[in-house]
Amino acid sequence: MSEQALIWHNGDLKPWNEATVHVSAHALHYGSSVFEGERVYATPEGAKFFRLADHTRRLFASARVYSIDVGYTPAQIDAACRSVVRANNMPSAYVRPVVFRGAGGLGVLPTSNSVDVAILALPWGSYHGDARENGADVCVSSWNRPAPNTFPAWAKAGGNYLNSQLIAREAQRDGYAEGIALGTDGMLNEGAGENLFLVMDGVLVTPPTSAGVLVGITRDSVLKLAHALDIPVAERAVPREALYYADEVFMCGTAAEITPIRSVDRTAVGDGTVGPVTRALQDAFFGLFDGRTEDRWGWLTAVSDAPLPDQEHARQAGHGQTPQEAQSSTEIRA
């Protein structure tokens, strides 16, 4: 990113190179961060967030799971997300709010660590290149998703994505665009960073959120769009072999949007082209941003007229601590 780019960090808009954290940050050592990924689309009425309030709601829910005090209200985070896009004069963007335990002691249990909040806005095109139009080649990974009651899958936490990195690196090393993970029960789970859908005999099938998948906001959008299009839906456990029986398969997520899968383990899905159900859902989804699909759910939030962040915000949860203040406890625990 350009040095002129601005990042919202603990209540202030800062140049890219000045938004720094201390090397003792708890998140660096133990993965204690929660985050969101949000898309801003260029629409005929200007730049608009897709489901901003829902992303912020999940950010706070994830923080609550890990007892992280965000230190700001949801309304302040929404306003800050909008203001950083506006400050960078971006017609479209990928926005990353992240809340993390910062400088302080090095114990596994954080006792004196600050809590930092940052929001980045980056230009971001199609996550899987031309796969949105032509389909992606994926594999079933040798890595499983964690078992239930280990890592909370509903929380979008930084540490969870170490597993995703293993899945994605293995897939790319073997020549695939992405990997699909199974759960510890051998049933289909999700991609490295995407939820999974199959079309079987005209029915849209997806693993349930009780299977330990992320409660994806794009996933929820697909389910609602399917209902509007009268596409029948089934949320149920799905065995691996269904990938080879399915007429269509696609992945979805904020970064991936709706990405068709044309082959799994070098076996073509259906006839190897984007199927009609996937295409209809893509058209409805992307139609939200060019006016073809009515936003009956109120999913779009304008970037314009966003208030700038309050520079005098009373920071909580250790915001504004110096590294020296935050490092008053240096107890190291196994």
77 with 97: CB under 8 angstroms?
yes
The distance from CA 204 to its chain's CA centroid, rounded to whole angstroms, is: 22
Residues taking part in catalysis: 156
**R_g of the chain, CA atoms, integer Å:** 21
How many angstroms separate the CA atoms of 103 and 321, rounded? 8
CB environment 254-293: b (16+ within 10 A), e (fewer): bbbbbbbbbbbeeeebbeeebbebbbebbebbeebbeeeb
Owner of token pair 């490295």 = 192
How many angstroms separate the CA atoms of 55 and 230, rounded? 26
